[in-house]
């Protein structure tokens, strides 16, 4: 049989699969809802990062000492309170005095004692209270304590007891000061991976139905070979995943930079998910086991995307997960100006995983069809 | 039971395909095993174009495994099978282009209509101008062609299965229990279609549990049990060779009714019949023939439903 006939058969099976998908009640309802929800959620997230830390201060008798210390240059917004009690309450409640801070919560409060200046001048011990919200990391608490000590030195007219040190900050990579990766940018790979993973479930469902209803057996009793059937399933899964992820990425404005690189990344992800769909669909014995098997794959595959959305939580093992390269490519292109040369490693790693998962899905589905 | 009868026998020469005719299906010493279990043990038969070949046997006899080997779904463990002169290979599209298969299970696409199912399968054969409506009318589904298969009854699905097997006007047709679950009217329609296909020139391999159907439809039948063919011949010859031919006579004998069975193989049968016919109290005379099922049970020692 000529290659053209094989292609015609594959095209006919793909068209049939897409028709079945479009008629499935669950997907007919779920697909538009998911698209609207994903895109809506993205645009609801802030597109910029607030880099200023709002600090509440009780400083009777100190005038504008904080401003004098260059608080604004240090990224601090100062809000004055008229008593240590109201300052502590503001920090504890996580709220601020609306109008004065524009609604930003006060993460740290510094209550200077009324006798600070005389105490410092006399060299007498005194206490400055630093209030911190329970969610403030310990590093920030330490920094604020150091900041308070510096204030004390300034008030006493002394300099810090270090004269030989000239600290210099060297930023490795792109200096993101004032241009941090926004929640929207961090959400982008998460949405892309979620769309891909959901489409792998859709393909798993199509594969499982084909096996459970034994229509695959009828297919391979025609001139359609098992290879044609497998190729068609892989193509259907790739088309479903790639089509929808491209729509979502378009709607959330992701193609401003290196569109071809981004498309290559998500195409690899789509092929990978087609493999996952074939694996899960072949392993499932009924609807519930197919869903369960799909979830088993989905949970670890979603981790790299969540690691980007919640930075700091990821461990080194995340880097060996199949979707890590896809996630890094998406977030790199859309948020960090990643180029082809920078993405080569990620793409190679993703291609290797693609080959492994698609190959495994192909072999397992082949065995299931042969055993029908 | 006669042990000699249970041994597989060679097909009788009178029922073999005419010499010189090219068989549409040719099977020689075909064997298959699932692990240590021998499902098919070296069977041999041929089916000519235009012939309906009944493949009769109980569940697990090896019928479906044979069909799976002939349709390219299983690779034979030993022996050869040829369809239209070509050795059947595993997953062989060249052979599969000329066959039609009606499976026992109703493996149809439920979310698609009957017409869509037929057109899709026709497209796999490269057929773009299928008259799906005409095909559906043949199986009595002309007015339901646009309905989704999920709304079909079991019988309607079965009729659609038969229609699907015919989309490519196959030269060899494999029908696995094609009238299973059908009402008598639908069964009759399907039997007419099978006969039409044979008259068109298609070779038909038919498996069925319905002995009356096999008797009526089949030009020849093969008894298969335990992976072996026990007999291959026309139904008529099988009945003549292995069946008990007798005449049952009922006589009024005084106040009672007496029945007398006269075996026709008895040398004195003529004399006994003559005297029975001339007897005063003669009421009825019935000829008695064995059914295919009786012969099958006698030959294999196993009931067809087993």
* HEC secondary structure over chain A: CCHHHHHHHHHHHHHHHHHHHHHCHHHHHHHHHHHHHHHHHHHHCCCCCCCCEEEEEECCCCCCHHHHCCCCCCCEEEEECCCHHHHHHHHHHCCCCCCCCCCCCCCEEEECCCCHHHHHHHCCCCCCEEEECCCCCHHHHHHHHHHHHHHHHHHHCCCCCCCCCCCCCCCCCCCCCCCCCCHHHHHHHHHHHHHHHHHHHHHHHHHHHHHHCCHHHHHCCCCCCHHHHHHHHHHHHHHHHHHHHHHHHHHCCCCCCCHHHHHHHHHHHHHHHHHHHHHHHHHCCCHHHHHHHHHHHHHHHHHHHHHHHCCCCCCHHHHHCCCHHHHHHHHHHHHCCCCHHHHHHHHHHHHHHHHHHHHHHHHHHHHHHHCC
In this structure, what are the phi and psi dihedrals at residue B226, rounded to the nearest 5 degrees? Answer: 55, 35
pTM of the model: 0.76
CB environment B174-199: b (16+ within 10 A), e (fewer): bbbbbbbebeeebbebbbebbeebbe
Give contacts of A18 with chain B, Cβ < 8 Å. Answer: none
Determine contact: B152 vs chain A, CB below 8 A. Answer: no
**Would the CB atoms of B73 and A1 count as touching at under 8 Å?**
no
For position A156, what pLDDT does the model report? 64
For position B89, what pLDDT does the model report? 81
- pLDDT tens across A242-275, in order? 999 999 999 988 888 889 999 999 999 999 999 9
Contact between B240 and B18 (Cβ < 8 Å): no
**Domain spanning A53-156 has what CATH number?**
3.40.190
Rounded mean pLDDT for each run of 10 residues along chain B, 306 residues in total: 38 45 90 92 94 90 90 90 89 88 90 95 93 92 92 90 95 91 85 93 90 89 90 88 80 83 82 82 82 81 62
**Would the CB atoms of A8 and B110 count as touching at under 8 Å?**
no
For chain B, report the end-to-end CA distance as a whole number of angstroms.
18
Band (pLDDT 50/70/90 cuts) for residue A27 is: confident
Band (pLDDT 50/70/90 cuts) for residue A160 is: low
**Would the CB atoms of A217 and B94 count as touching at under 8 Å?**
no
Q: Which residue has the tokens 């645009």?
A: A43
For position A216, what pLDDT does the model report? 92
- Region of A299 on the Ramachandran plot (φ > 0 left; ψ -120 to 50 alpha; else beta): alpha
Is residue B288 within a helix (H) or strand (E), and if so which, with residue range? strand B282-288
Question: Which one of B88, B93, B103 would you mutate to disrupt binding with A, by most A Cβ within 10 Å of its Cβ?
Answer: B93
Give contacts of A218 with chain B, Cβ < 8 Å. Answer: 101, 103, 107-108, 121, 164
Determine contact: B99 vs chain A, CB below 8 A. Answer: yes
Is residue B253 within a helix (H) or strand (E), and if so which, with residue range? strand B246-253
Give contacts of A220 with chain B, Cβ < 8 Å. Answer: 72-73, 91
Is residue B207 within a helix (H) or strand (E), and if so which, with residue range? strand B203-207
Give contacts of B123 with chain A, Cβ < 8 Å. Answer: 8-9, 12
Could you state, in order of their start, the residue ranges of all structural domains in chain A? 3-46+180-371, 53-156
Give contacts of A213 with chain B, Cβ < 8 Å. Answer: 107-110
For position B15, what pLDDT does the model report? 43
Contact between B25 and B39 (Cβ < 8 Å): no
Determine contact: B96 vs chain A, CB below 8 A. Answer: yes
Cα A240 from Cα B209, distance rounded (Å): 45
Handedness of CA B223, B226, B227, B228 (dihedral sign): negative
The more confident residue out of A74 and A369 is A369
For position A101, what pLDDT does the model report? 46
For position B184, what pLDDT does the model report? 86
The more confident residue out of B145 and A164 is B145
Which residue among B97, B107, B110 places its CB closest to the CB of A223? B97
For position B163, what pLDDT does the model report? 95
**Would the CB atoms of A12 and B124 count as touching at under 8 Å?**
yes
**Spatial CB neighbours of A300, under 8 Å, sequence gap ≥ 6:** A321
For position A69, what pLDDT does the model report? 63
- pLDDT tens across A275-305, in order? 999 998 888 777 788 888 888 888 899 888 8
**Would the CB atoms of A218 and B164 count as touching at under 8 Å?**
yes
Q: Determine the residue of chain A that is closest to B122 in CA distance.
A: A222
Structure tokens at A340: 């082809």
- pLDDT tens across A303-340, in order? 888 888 776 556 788 888 999 999 989 888 888 888 99
Band (pLDDT 50/70/90 cuts) for residue A1 is: confident
| Alpha carbon A338 to its chain's center | 16
For position A254, what pLDDT does the model report? 83
Task: Return the number of other C-beta atoms located less than 10 Å from residue A239's C-beta.
Answer: 18
Band (pLDDT 50/70/90 cuts) for residue A161 is: low
For position A230, what pLDDT does the model report? 93
- pLDDT tens across A59-71, in order? 776 656 666 666 6
Band (pLDDT 50/70/90 cuts) for residue A218 is: very high
Which residue among A1, A20, A214 places its CB closest to the CB of B94? A1
Q: How far is CA A26 from CA A20, A23, A30, A238, in A?
A: 12, 9, 6, 20
- pLDDT tens across B206-234, in order? 998 788 888 889 999 998 988 999 889 99
Contact between B104 and B180 (Cβ < 8 Å): yes
Give contacts of B99 with chain A, Cβ < 8 Å. Answer: 221
Handedness of CA A266, A272, A278, A280 (dihedral sign): negative
Cα A24 from Cα A19, distance rounded (Å): 9
- pLDDT tens across A76-87, in order? 777 788 888 888
Least confident of A112-121, A165-174, A308-317: A165-174
The more confident residue out of B273 and A350 is A350
């Amino acid at each position: 049989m000529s290659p053209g006939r094989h292609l015609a058969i594959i095209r006919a099976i793909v068209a049939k699969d897409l028709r079945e998908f479009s008629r499935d009640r669950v997907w007919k309802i779920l697909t538009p809802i998911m698209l609207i929800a994903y895109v809506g959620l993205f645009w609801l997230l802030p597109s910029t990062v607030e880099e200023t830390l709002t600090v509440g201060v009780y400083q009777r008798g100190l005038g504008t000492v904080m401003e004098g210390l260059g608080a604004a240059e240090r990224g601090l917004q100062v809000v004055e309170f008229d008593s240590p009690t109201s300052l502590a309450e503001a920090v504890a409640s996580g709220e601020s005095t609306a109008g004065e801070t524009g609604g930003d919560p006060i993460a740290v409060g510094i209550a200077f004692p009324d006798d600070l200046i005389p105490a410092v001048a006399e060299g007498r011990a005194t206490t400055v209270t630093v209030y911190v919200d329970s969610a403030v990391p310990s590093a920030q608490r330490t920094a604020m304590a150091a900041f308070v000590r510096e204030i004390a030195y300034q008030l006493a007219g002394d300099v810090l007891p270090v004269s030989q040190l000239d600290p210099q900050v060297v930023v490795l990579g792109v200096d993101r000061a004032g241009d941090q990766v926004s929640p929207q940018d961090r959400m982008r790979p998460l949405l892309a991976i979620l769309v891909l993973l959901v489409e792998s479930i859709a393909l798993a469902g199509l594969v499982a139905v084909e096996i459970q209803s034994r229509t695959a057996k009828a297919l391979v009793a025609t001139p359609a070979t098992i290879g044609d059937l497998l190729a068609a399933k892989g193509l259907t899964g790739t088309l479903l995943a790639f089509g929808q992820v491209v729509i979502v990425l378009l709607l959330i404005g992701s193609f401003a930079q290196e569109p071809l690189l981004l498309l290559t990344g998500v195409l690899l992800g789509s092929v990978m998910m087609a493999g996952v769909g074939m694996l899960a669909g072949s392993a499932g014995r009924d609807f519930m086991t197919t869903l369960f098997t799909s979830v088993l794959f989905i949970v670890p595959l979603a981790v790299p995307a969540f690691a980007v959305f919640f930075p700091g939580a990821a461990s080194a093992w995340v880097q060996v997960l199949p979707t890590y390269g896809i996630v890094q490519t998406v977030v790199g292109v859309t948020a960090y100006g990643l180029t082809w040369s920078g993405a080569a490693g990620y793409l190679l790693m993703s291609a290797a995983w693609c080959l492994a998962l698609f190959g495994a899905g192909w072999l397992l589905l082949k065995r299931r069809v042969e055993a029908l | 039971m006669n042990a000699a009868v249970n041994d597989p026998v060679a097909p009788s020469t009178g029922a073999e395909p005419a010499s010189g005719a090219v068989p549409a299906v040719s099977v020689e010493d075909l064997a298959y095993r699932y692990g240590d279990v021998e499902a098919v043990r070296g069977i041999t038969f041929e089916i000519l174009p235009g012939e309906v070949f009944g493949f009769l046997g109980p569940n697990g006899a090896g019928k479906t495994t044979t069909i799976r080997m002939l349709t390219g779904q299983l690779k034979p463990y030993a022996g050869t099978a040829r369809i239209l002169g070509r050795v059947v290979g595993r997953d062989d599209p060249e052979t599969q282009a000329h066959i039609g298969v009606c499976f026992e299970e109703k493996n149809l696409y439920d979310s698609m209509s009957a017409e869509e199912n037929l057109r899709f399968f026709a497209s796999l054969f490269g057929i773009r101008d299928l008259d799906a409506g005409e095909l559906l009318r043949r199986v009595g589904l002309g007015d339901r062609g646009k309905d989704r298969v999920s709304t079909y009854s079991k019988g309607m699905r079965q009729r659609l299965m038969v229609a699907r097997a015919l989309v490519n006007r196959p030269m060899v047709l494999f029908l696995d229990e094609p009238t299973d679950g059908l009402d008598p009217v639908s069964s009759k329609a399907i039997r007419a279609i099978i006969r039409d296909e044979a008259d068109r020139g298609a070779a038909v391999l038919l498996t069925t549990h319905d002995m009356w159907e096999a008797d009526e439809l089949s030009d020849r039948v093969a008894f298969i049990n335990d992976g072996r063919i026990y007999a291959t011949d026309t139904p008529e010859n099988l009945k003549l060779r292995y069946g008990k031919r007798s005449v049952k006579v009922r006589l009024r004998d005084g106040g009672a009714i007496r029945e007398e069975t006269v075996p026709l193989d008895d040398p004195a049968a003529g004399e006994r019949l003559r005297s029975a016919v001339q007897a005063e109290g003669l009421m009825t005379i019935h000829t008695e023939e064995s059914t295919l099922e009786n012969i099958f049970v006698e030959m294999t020692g196993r009931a067809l439903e087993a």
